[in-house]
Amino acid sequence: MFTGIIERIGAVAAIAEEGGSRCLSIVTGFCDLALGESVAVDGVCLTVARLAGANADFFVSPETIGRSTLGRLRQGAAVNLERSATLSTPLSGHLVQGHVDGRARLVRVDAAGDARRIELSVPATLRRYCVEKGSIALNGVSLTLNGVGEPREGGFAIAIMLIPHTWTHTNLQRCAVGDDLNIEVDVLAKYVESLCRPYPTPFGG
């Protein structure tokens, strides 16, 4: 479990293809990682499989490659990093599992003083989990939804304001229009939906 507060920006040092899987070697900047520890890499929960100084190796399965952007990473790419939360970790963001729901496409970036307002296109299947002023994670960053559009042509639009700290301390500043970002909706919304599904609505719907 994570909180969506990015601790460091790491760099992909090497990539090894292993059949339909990948091994990512990342310069993390963490000096005390342990084998088997969970680290969110661009919002994807991965396990430390090997350690070599400041480098940590992570195995990426075909499922993760198909669902996230990790299959498109190249050597030298900057990635957001967050170590897993503990019972004493401040919940400055929101509960983030590191289980990516899909990819959102960046469609617009506008300056708003030192802040940035971004718009993204999100798969329509995730619309029911998104509410204005609710939480969402993009590339592992806990963010607030400032606007949520209605579904059209297989997707819907969301708008997010990035404060200067978030812009300068995450890899979102390196994203260009047309890039895909990992998206994870609020898991609490999915639990509520699952618990309510067996019961009829008050209006018989």
Specify the CATH number for 102-194; select among 2.40.30.20, 3.90.400.10, 3.30.1340.30, 3.40.50.300.
2.40.30.20
- Comma-separated ranges of CATH 2.40.30.20 domains in the chain: 8-83, 102-194
Q: What is the pLDDT of residues 109-132, one digit of tens each?
A: 999 999 999 999 999 999 999 999
Q: What is the pLDDT of residues 17-49, one digit of tens each?
A: 988 999 999 999 998 999 999 999 999 999 999
User: Looking at residues 140-147, what average pLDDT do you find?
Assistant: 98
Nearest to 172 by CA among 30, 6, 2, 51: 6
- Say if residue 91's pLDDT is above 80: yes
- The identity of residue 118, as a single letter, is I
- Say if residue 205's pLDDT is above 80: no
Give phi and psi for 80, each to the nearest 5: -75, 135
Q: What is the pLDDT of residues 185-204, one digit of tens each?
A: 999 999 888 888 887 766 55
Written as six digits, the tokens of 180 are 């895909």
Specify the CATH number for 8-83; select among 3.40.50.970, 1.10.150.120, 2.40.30.20, 2.20.25.90.
2.40.30.20
